[in-house]
Every structure is written in structure tokens, then in C-alpha cells.
Structure 1
């Protein structure tokens, strides 16, 4: 990328982070371009869709969650490791304005960013933890990582921006996880 193009990209990303923190995933693209000091065409050249911009804004944050899954992979209690990671994902989504909404929309984007979408990263990271929990008999066999991430995302959406969002997200995830444990 040329230096001026790289500078524009960085300015757009910085402006987008600030606007999404204020207004969520529906932040005005025109306002982002204006705050970045670029035209709308420049914004769209770097980020052809809103989802592409959201993916770029949240990519590094999602990488942190994926690294957490890696840290928990060797935990002696695989069910607890999975639950800890899912709580972390829920709290992150509930306290990071726009993240839960961008993950929800990511699966519906007709042209999601190739290969490194936040949703794909989370599915990949959580799959190993779920496999270990399945092997340990800590999770019902029919439960998939997509099921769990859907539940966690719903909790994040329901609690995002509320007072005590992290506490409420944790409580609701714990309730949901009771339903995925083996019966009897």
C-alpha cells in the first residue's frame, strides 16, 4: 500500500473506532469519512461494505479472545475452560459497543471479508474447546460451537451498553450453559 493510501486507511480505521464506540455498528459511514478527512469514495475503496469496516475495527479485539481460547485449551476441566471462554466472549460483546451486532451481521453479509472474519476466527478458536468438553462429557453431544456462539451473541446484544453489562452478561451465560450440560 502506498504511504498516502496507508495513512488514509489508518485515519478511517481510527475514526471508525471512535464513531462505533459512540454510536454502535450503525455509525454513519459519511461521518466516519468526514472525521477521517477523506471522501466517501476513499472510505469505500478501502472498505467496500459496512461489514468489512466492522471486521477491521474489531479484528484485533477478536484476536485477543482467540488467544484466550488457546490459553484455556490445556485446562484440566474442559467444561470449565469452555464456560470461561464463552463468558469472556459475552462480556467482551456486551462491553464493546457494536461488536455483537457486527458478528450477527457477519453471517448475513453477501460478501464477507475473506478468511479472517471475526465470526470465523471465533468459531475456529472455540471449536477446540468444545471438542475437549465433548470428549470429557461436559457438554451434550448435539451442541455445536455455532449454537454456543449464537447464545453468547444474543446475551451480548441483550446486555450491551446497560449498567452492569459485564455482570449481567456473565449471569445470563451461566443460565444458558446450564442448558447445554448433559442431563441426568
Structure 2
């Protein structure tokens, strides 16, 4: 793929992810192309159907989230990396919620995109939790599966205008709870 075609494709994916998070999967494809600064023909050359665009956006969002865990772990102290990653999970969840109808169709069609995504996200979280526990910046009795269950609880919250800011506050509360009583955490006693 030529460099300009690759840039157009990435721009389309980023714009589509934001549009799906904001307006849902029925966002106009023409509007996505316009916001990306390309013609509708360019969008269709890269993504022949809406479902193909949704599937590709979903894969990209999972990849970005999983790669973010590695990047954050390199750049930040363990508890801060975990906190930032959980905030990024809110953005991922917002996009996924916006695509839920199309994702359900893909799920019903037994699309392979769901085969490894949940385990990849769980592994990313497990790595960040383990590092924070080892550093003593979160509680030692933390089970990554419990954190994941709490985080995915925000997915099922009602779709109100304040869903995203409220979800971000909830993630901060979860992080405060993880730090409470940690040997080196901010909530150490």
C-alpha cells in the first residue's frame, strides 16, 4: 500500500472510531469520508461495506488498547500506567458501544474477530496489575479478573449524555480502591 493510501486508511479508521463512539454505527459514511478529507470512493476502496469498516475499527481499537499497555508500562510508574490504561479502556468501550449493533451481527455470524480480543485485553490488564502489585503501589489481594469485571460493568451503564465523564470518574474510584492499603500506594495506612 502506498504511503498516502496508508495515511488515508488510518485517518478513516480514526475518524470512524470517533464517529461511532459519538453517534453510533449508523453515522453517515459520507460524513466520515468528509471529516477524513477524502472522497467516499476512497472510503469504499478501503472498506467495501459498513460491516468491513466496523470490523476493522474494532480490530484497530483492540490493537491500540493492547499496545497502549506496553507503552504505558515503559513510560509510567506501574500504578499510573494501570490508571491511564483503564481510562483508555473507557474510550475503547465508548467506541464499542457505538458499534454494538453491527458487532452483534458479526458475533452472530461467528466472525473470528472475537476469538482472541477478550483474552488479549485481559492479558494486557493482568500485566499492568501484576507490575503494580509487585511495585507495592496497589493492594496485594487484587485479582485482575475482578478489576476487569468492574471495568466492563461500565459498558452496561445506561447511555446517557454524561456516560463517558461518569465512567471516567468510576474508573478513578476503582483506582483509588486499588491503591488503598497498598504498601507504597497513596492510600497506604
Give the TM-score, by structure 2 length.
0.54
Q: Is the CA contact 1:94–1:161 (under 8 Å) kept in the aligned structure 2?
A: yes
User: Secondary structure of 2:122's match?
Assistant: helix
Structure 1: segments with no counterpart, 5+ residues: 76-80
Counterpart Cα distance in 1 of 2:16 and 2:156: 20
- Classify 1:130/1:165 alpha carbon distance in 2 versus 1 (closer, same or farther; 3 Å): closer
What is aligned with 1:50? 54
Q: Is the CA contact 2:83–2:172 (under 8 Å) kept in the aligned structure 1?
A: yes
- Classify 1:86/1:151 alpha carbon distance in 2 versus 1 (closer, same or farther; 3 Å): farther
- 1:23 equivalent in alignment to 2:23: yes
What is aligned with 1:122? 121
Q: Is the CA contact 1:69–1:85 (under 8 Å) kept in the aligned structure 2?
A: yes
Counterpart Cα distance in 1 of 2:61 and 2:94: 10
Structure 2: segments with no counterpart, 5+ residues: 183-189
Kindly report which structure 2 residues correspond to 1:158-177, keeping only aligned pairs within 5 A, or say none.
158=157, 160-162=163-165, 165-172=167-174, 174=176, 177=178
- Classify 1:37/1:113 alpha carbon distance in 2 versus 1 (closer, same or farther; 3 Å): farther
What is aligned with 1:78? none
Q: Which has the higher contact order (CA 8 A, sep 6+)?
A: 1
Give the TM-score, by structure 1 length.
0.55
- Classify 1:114/1:38 alpha carbon distance in 2 versus 1 (closer, same or farther; 3 Å): farther
The CA deviation at 1:138 is 0.9
Paired residues in the alignment total: 162
Q: Is the CA contact 1:52–1:112 (under 8 Å) kept in the aligned structure 2?
A: no
User: Secondary structure of 1:28's match?
Assistant: coil
The CA deviation at 1:23 is 1.9
Counterpart Cα distance in 1 of 2:156 and 2:122: 18
Q: Is the CA contact 1:156–1:169 (under 8 Å) kept in the aligned structure 2?
A: no
Q: Is the CA contact 2:66–2:124 (under 8 Å) kept in the aligned structure 1?
A: no
Counterpart Cα distance in 1 of 2:173 and 2:94: 21
The CA deviation at 1:60 is 3.8
User: Secondary structure of 2:47's match?
Assistant: helix
